[in-house]
Amino acid sequence: MRISRATLLLPLLTLACGHSDGMSSGPDLVVYCSLDQDLSENIIAKFEARTGFTVETQFDVERNKTVGLVNRIIAEAKNNPRADVYWNNEIAHTLRLKDAGLTVAYQSPAADGIPAAFRDADHHWTGFAARARVILYRTDREGLVPEKLDDFLNPAYAVGGAMAQPLTGTTLTNATVLSLQRGNDAMLSWFAAAEAAGLSFGAGNADVMRRTTHGDFLWCFTDTDDAAKAIAQGHPVAVRYLEQGDGSLGVLLIPNSICILNSGKNLDAAKQFLDYILSVEVETQLAFSVAQQIPLHVGVAMPAGVQIPGQDYQVMAVDWPAVAAAISARAVAFQEAFVK
């Protein structure tokens, strides 16, 4: 049997095609990811299996959600940019990276169908798979459960409730949004008044959710992904959407977001990664996960009983660039107020 030299080389060429330079022994793509590892890791693994690309992923940790990886990206950009893509579990800090000149414009065809409110006009970032800020409350106990944010200031409601300190993640984003609506000093006064009324403050959204399911609180202010986990675990709890009705603010919807970083490496692999992560397939997978994240593509299937924003409840209008511009200063002010 005679085998040509080209045939012998074919397997080597096939294996090399996954690498952006055809020679590198390192990963084809470096992704920093703030979404919980149990939700994102298998999605990234599917991308690797389908494309042949190898992906090195750095996940965030609960205690410094989002902020830790964003600060790392900013620090590394000065001398040694490592990450090619940032997958954020919220949105404001992604816009910070754009404002710092650390992102690359890319208009992914997979973003078609996502509302313009969740896409950058310059194509530097795209939102997808959102969470809503909601009240999770016990159905087996008597007591008052808030319908408005300012119910948190009423002792009749506040003594039974809890929320995370507004220092990281979606709680910091939510507090920044409110501070833009009400004013910085007014928002600090609001938190002080809520605490004086008896509202408890926990270490994070998952923390106050767990303590509510354990019976420490009647209700907590958290995200729909934490609420979905509590319901799936069989706890006697339900969800309430705040600020509904004529003249009300509506519910804050906070999406995941994704952007390509200007690392100067692996642009083609980064674009393919965005196309996959922004797909209807991935939004559907996240919707049917334990977190029940809310698809932003129109018409994506959702689990039975999950309410649809804009259809089943009102959604708050948000100026996301303004939130991104303000969030660092607000984080410092909230840190000074809460960490004593």
CATH number for the domain spanning 23: value is: 3.40.190.10
> Given this model, what pLDDT does residue 237 score?
98
Asked if residue 100 belongs to a domain, the reply is yes
Other C-beta atoms within 10 Å of 12: how many? 8
Among the ranges given (140-144, 275-279, 297-301), the one the predictor scored with the smallest mean pLDDT: 297-301
Q: Cα–Cα distance between 81 and 62 in angstroms, integer?
A: 24
Asked if residue 147 belongs to a domain, the reply is yes
Indicate whether 149 and 215 sit together in one domain. yes
Q: Are 91 and 252 in contact (CB under 8 A)?
A: no
Asked if residue 10 belongs to a domain, the reply is no
Asked if residue 117 belongs to a domain, the reply is yes
Residue 189: pLDDT over 60: yes
> Given this model, what pLDDT does residue 6 score?
35
Indicate whether 76 and 38 sit together in one domain. yes
pLDDT digits 0-9 by tens, 7-61: 333 332 333 345 444 445 789 999 999 999 999 999 999 999 999 999 999 998 6
Asked if residue 223 belongs to a domain, the reply is yes
Q: Are 115 and 210 in contact (CB under 8 A)?
A: no
Indicate whether 261 and 241 sit together in one domain. no
Indicate whether 200 and 225 sit together in one domain. yes
> Given this model, what pLDDT does residue 65 score?
57
Where is 134: in which H helix or E strand? strand 126-138
Residue 5: pLDDT over 50: no
Indicate whether 333 and 216 sit together in one domain. yes
> Given this model, what pLDDT does residue 24 score?
52
In order, the DSSP letters of 273-288 are HHHHHTSHHHHHHHHT
Indicate whether 99 and 215 sit together in one domain. no
Asked if residue 282 belongs to a domain, the reply is yes
Q: What is the largest CA-CA distance in the chain?
A: 88
Indicate whether 214 and 333 sit together in one domain. yes
> Given this model, what pLDDT does residue 301 score?
85
The residue range of the domain holding 233 is: 131-252+329-338
* The pair of three-digit structure tokens given for residue 297, joined into one six-digit string: 């593509």
Asked if residue 8 belongs to a domain, the reply is no
Q: Are 20 and 265 in contact (CB under 8 A)?
A: yes
Angle at 338 between CA 333 and CA 339, to 5 degrees: 100
Residue 97: pLDDT over 50: yes
Indicate whether 177 and 225 sit together in one domain. yes
Q: Cα–Cα distance between 319 and 315 in angstroms, integer?
A: 13
Q: Which has more pLDDT, 340 or 338? A: 338
Q: How many domains are there within the chain?
A: 2
3-state SS class at 48: helix
Q: Cα–Cα distance between 230 and 222 in angstroms, integer?
A: 11
Indicate whether 286 and 212 sit together in one domain. no
Indicate whether 229 and 291 sit together in one domain. no
Indicate whether 112 and 135 sit together in one domain. no
Indicate whether 150 and 234 sit together in one domain. yes
pTM: 0.87
Q: Output DSSP code: residue 316.
A: -
Report the share of the chain in percent with pLDDT over 70. Answer: 91
Q: Cα–Cα distance between 61 and 63 in angstroms, integer?
A: 6
Average pLDDT, the chain: 90
Q: How confident is the model at residue 63 (pLDDT cuts 50, 70, 90)?
A: low
> Given this model, what pLDDT does residue 15 score?
31
pLDDT digits 0-9 by tens, 132-184: 999 999 999 999 999 999 999 999 999 999 999 999 889 999 999 999 999 99
Angle at 38 between CA 125 and CA 233, to 5 degrees: 120
Asked if residue 322 belongs to a domain, the reply is no
